[in-house]
């Protein structure tokens, strides 16, 4: 297998890890105003992601760094053409991080809770819009420069992708809260997960069926459907662990559909002759070889650390945290 293909797959894996892990962080923030009836409940909700949310964002940093190093043309065109949406995502993530750090140090948490909500909803929606445009294709000239405008990116297919990812993250957050809490808070989270599941299934499958291209994409769509079905059935039966697993599989299959639909392009153009591919956007073979050795050494370390963190904080939060 060529190194360009290896790094395309590795970047897809990094984005998958980001959306599976950060996805429930976004969902928790989106659900905070709807589940947190009291200050104690809202503190419990925030504590479910307190030890892990900043570690989950590392996946985004690594995915961005890997894209810059392995496919610099892809990185340059993407960040110049999608400058405003990516800037808004970055701004929202900063606001969200500040809200999580300072809400516990303030006498009034209402403002920080609103910042947490919008800082979670915005990226979930905008990431979906951005990736849907990468699947659909964008206007590029012969020099691989983006020639569209902001409104070019706000097409119906991209907006559908944004809503699909937003719903996926919201449901993922709901099943995560059901898994990590007890009592009325758990019941409320499970109720929301079951309520929005049919809408999520409909929107996500419509989007993925429009996005798929090729046999692998069809397989990914089928896996996403199975994952969402498992999440719904397990939620109704009170099997929170299986519900979270099904939701995670659905998100992973969602991302897989996006990347298999792009392949062998990394950024399709409306004129196929101007598309960025794994070949014309890649770094030199020497650069990719060095990156491969570095990734082989340090990736298991990072994965082991994150696995240990989740194991340490695996227990449900009880009423003791709601006082």
pLDDT digits (tens, 9 = 90+) for 31-64: 998 987 777 888 888 888 888 888 888 889 889 8
pTM of the model: 0.89
Residue 315 domain boundaries: 3-177+262-321
Name the average pLDDT for the chain.
88
Q: Which residue has the tokens 């299959």?
A: 253
The residue ranges of DSSP E strands in 56-102, in sequence order, are none
Least confident of 110-114, 172-176, 239-243: 110-114
CA distance 190 to 76: 42
Q: What average pLDDT score do residues 175-200 get?
A: 91
Residue percentage of the chain with pLDDT more than 70 = 96
Sign of CA dihedral 254, 255, 256, 262: positive
- Give me the number of domains the chain comprises: 1
What DSSP state is assigned to residue 314?
-
In a domain, 193, yes or no: no
CA proximity to 13, closest of 197, 252, 291, 200: 252
In a domain, 115, yes or no: yes
In a domain, 304, yes or no: yes
What is the band of 80 on the pLDDT scale with cuts at 50, 70, 90?
Answer: confident
In a domain, 18, yes or no: yes
Q: Which residue would you say has higher pLDDT here, 39 or 188? A: 188
Q: Is the pLDDT of residue 145 over 70?
A: yes
Backbone angles phi, psi at 10, to 5 degrees: -65, -40
Q: What is the pLDDT of residue 320?
A: 45
In a domain, 256, yes or no: no
Q: What is the pLDDT of residue 184?
A: 86
Are 204 and 224 in contact, with CB atoms under 8 Å apart? yes
Q: What average pLDDT score do residues 245-266 get?
A: 92
What is the band of 132 on the pLDDT scale with cuts at 50, 70, 90?
Answer: very high
Which whole-number Å values give the CA distances from 114 to 104, 191, 316, in the listed order?
A: 14, 23, 25
Give the chain's length.
323
CA distance 176 to 32: 13
CA distance 91 to 122: 10
In a domain, 289, yes or no: yes
CA distance 245 to 168: 13
Are 234 and 207 in contact, with CB atoms under 8 Å apart? no
What is the band of 162 on the pLDDT scale with cuts at 50, 70, 90?
Answer: very high
What is the band of 297 on the pLDDT scale with cuts at 50, 70, 90?
Answer: confident
In a domain, 292, yes or no: yes
CA distance 18 to 66: 13
Backbone angles phi, psi at 146, to 5 degrees: -70, 130
What DSSP state is assigned to residue 43?
H
Q: What average pLDDT score do residues 282-295 get?
A: 88
- 138: which strand partners? 269
Torsion of CA 115, 121, 123, 124, to 10 degrees: 160
Contacts of 29 (CB under 8 A, 6+ apart): 96, 116, 117, 119, 120, 121, 173
Q: Which residue has the tokens 């070019």?
A: 152
| Burial tier of 211 (Cβ tally within 10 Å: 0-12, 13-18, 19+) | buried
Q: What is the pLDDT of residue 319?
A: 53
In a domain, 184, yes or no: no
Q: Is the pLDDT of residue 322 over 60?
A: no
Q: Is the pLDDT of residue 213 over 50?
A: yes
How many CA atoms, within 13 angstroms, populate the side-chain half-sphere of residue 304?
5
């Amino acid at each position: 297998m060529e190194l360009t293909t290896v790094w395309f797959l590795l970047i897809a894996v990094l984005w998958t890890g980001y959306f599976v892990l950060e996805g429930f962080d976004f969902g928790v923030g989106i659900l905070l105003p709807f589940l947190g009836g009291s200050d104690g409940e809202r503190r419990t909700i925030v504590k479910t992601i307190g030890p892990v949310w900043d570690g989950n964002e590392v996946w985004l940093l690594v995915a961005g760094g890997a894209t810059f190093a392995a496919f610099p043309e892809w990185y340059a065109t993407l960040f110049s053409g999608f400058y405003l949406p990516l800037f808004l995502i970055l701004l929202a993530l900063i606001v969200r991080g500040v809200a999580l750090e300072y809400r516990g140090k303030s006498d009034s948490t209402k403002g920080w809770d609103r910042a947490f909500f919008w800082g979670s909803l915005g990226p979930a929606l905008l990431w979906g819009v951005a990736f849907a445009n990468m699947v659909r294709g964008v206007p590029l000239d012969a020099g691989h420069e983006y020639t569209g405008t902001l409104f070019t990116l706000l097409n119906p297919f991209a907006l559908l992708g944004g809503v699909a990812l937003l719903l996926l993250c919201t449901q993922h957050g709901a099943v995560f809260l059901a898994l990590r809490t007890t009592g009325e808070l758990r019941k409320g989270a499970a109720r929301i997960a079951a309520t929005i599941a049919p809408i999520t299934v409909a929107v996500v499958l419509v989007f993925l069926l429009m996005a798929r291209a090729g046999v692998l994409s069809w397989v990914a769509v089928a896996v996403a459907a199975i994952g969402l079905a498992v999440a719904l059935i397990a939620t109704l039966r009170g099997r929170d662990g299986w519900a979270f697993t099904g939701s995670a599989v659905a998100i992973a299959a969602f991302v897989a559909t996006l990347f298999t639909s792009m392949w062998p392009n990394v950024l399709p153009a409306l004129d196929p002759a101007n598309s960025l591919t794994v070949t014309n956007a890649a770094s030199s073979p020497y650069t990719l070889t060095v990156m491969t050795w570095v990734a082989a050494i340090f990736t298991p370390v990072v994965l082991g650390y994150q696995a240990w963190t989740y194991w340490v904080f695996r227990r449900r939060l009880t009423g003791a945290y709601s006082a």
